[in-house]
């Protein structure tokens, strides 16, 4: 095994942001980006988290610190939202005080990528608490479930059977859903609260606010009409409004 010189590790400026392997389906970008956009709303007032999409994680648990593991998505807590006020080009563990992601996501594609073996072992060594594997198309081929979440317990991953799964260390749940507004009826991954309710997208929030505003206007209009009706009734009876 190659001995790593921890005093002379490369900087993020020297390391590529990913492995440059293109994804072979749009879900590998769409799903983690949707989770990111939801977090931007849910945690809009927090600066102690980072969610990376198709970004290299450079670590020292392998044979070469210049070889990253590249999940489709990952979440780290207790790190700067923007590293030194700037965007990250990659996630370099030794520049993040060795804070490992608390969650990683792999979307299984037509090209098998060792999600259930090699990457699982890498994430276990890194200490990733939750490992999510989403496999809606090829789960029968791979002999697994379409949606699996593994939790690191005493150094080993244990498959969790609850969905959505509440993750107390993160303060979020994760599971599958279909957006009511999606005309394609696509299944997505989403964040949930502790009660199991799905966090709404910004579009859904805007629609809900519009519905509430319309309801308030309708209620105000109805109240005004009722008052005008009563005043007219009083006048017809010769009773002064004063």
CATH number at residue 122: 3.90.1570
My answer on whether 50 and 88 are in the same domain is yes
109 & 221 share domain = no
β-pair type (57-58, 91-92): parallel
Give the number of other Cβ atoms within 10 Å of residue 162's Cβ: 10
Range of the domain at 232: 200-242
**208 and 179 part of one domain:** no
Which pair of tokens denotes residue 222?
């109805």
Instruction: Tell me, yes or no, whether 1 lies in a domain.
Output: no
Q: Which residues contact 186 (CB under 8 A, 6 or more apart)?
A: 178, 179
191 or 235: which leads in pLDDT:
191
What is the C-alpha to C-alpha distance for residues 99 and 81, in angstroms, rounded to an integer? 13
Same domain flag for 193 and 208: no
Per mean pLDDT, which range of 8-17, 69-78, 116-125, 189-198 is the poorest?
Answer: 8-17
Let me know whether 94 and 207 are in one domain: no
DSSP class of residue 10 equals P
Task: Please indicate, yes or no, whether residues 174 and 211 belong to a single structural domain of this protein.
Answer: no
Tally of domains in the chain: 2
For CA atoms 159, 165, 167, 170, give the dihedral sign.
positive
Are both 216 and 114 inside the same structural domain? no
Q: Which of 165, 181, 199 is the last residue of a domain?
A: 199
Q: What average pLDDT does the structure give for the chain?
A: 86
Q: Is 155 found in the same domain as 37? A: yes
**Do 189 and 164 share a structural domain?**
yes
Is the domain of 96 the same as that of 126? yes
Buried b (16+ CB within 10 A) or exposed e, 183-209: eeeebbbbbbeeeeebbbbeeeeeeee
Residue 198 has pLDDT above 50, yes or no: yes
Confidence band of 19 (pLDDT split at 50, 70, 90) = low
């Amino acid at each position: 095994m190659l001995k790593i010189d921890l005093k002379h590790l490369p900087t993020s400026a020297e390391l590529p942001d990913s492995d440059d392997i293109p994804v072979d389906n749009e879900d590998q970008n769409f799903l983690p980006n949707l989770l990111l956009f939801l977090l931007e709303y849910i945690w809009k007032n927090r600066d102690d988290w980072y969610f990376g999409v198709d970004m290299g994680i450079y670590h020292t648990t392998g044979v070469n610190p210049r070889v990253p593991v590249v999940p489709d998505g990952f979440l780290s807590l207790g790190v700067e939202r923007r590293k030194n006020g700037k965007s990250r080009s990659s996630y370099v563990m030794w520049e993040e005080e060795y804070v490992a992601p608390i969650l990683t996501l792999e979307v299984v594609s037509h090209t098998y990528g060792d999600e259930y073996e090699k990457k699982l072992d890498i994430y276990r060594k890194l200490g990733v608490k939750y490992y999510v594997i989403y496999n809606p198309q090829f789960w029968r081929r791979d002999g697994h479930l379409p949606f699996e979440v593994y939790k690191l317990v005493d150094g080993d991953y244990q498959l969790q059977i609850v969905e959505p799964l509440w993750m107390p260390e993160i303060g979020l749940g994760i599971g599958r859903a279909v957006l009511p507004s999606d005309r394609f009826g696509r299944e997505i991954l989403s964040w949930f609260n502790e009660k199991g309710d799905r966090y709404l997208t910004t579009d859904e929030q805007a629609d809900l606010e519009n519905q509430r505003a319309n309801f308030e206007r309708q209620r105000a209009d109805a109240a005004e009409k009722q008052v005008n009706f009563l005043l007219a009734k009083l006048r017809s009876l010769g009773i002064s409004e004063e």
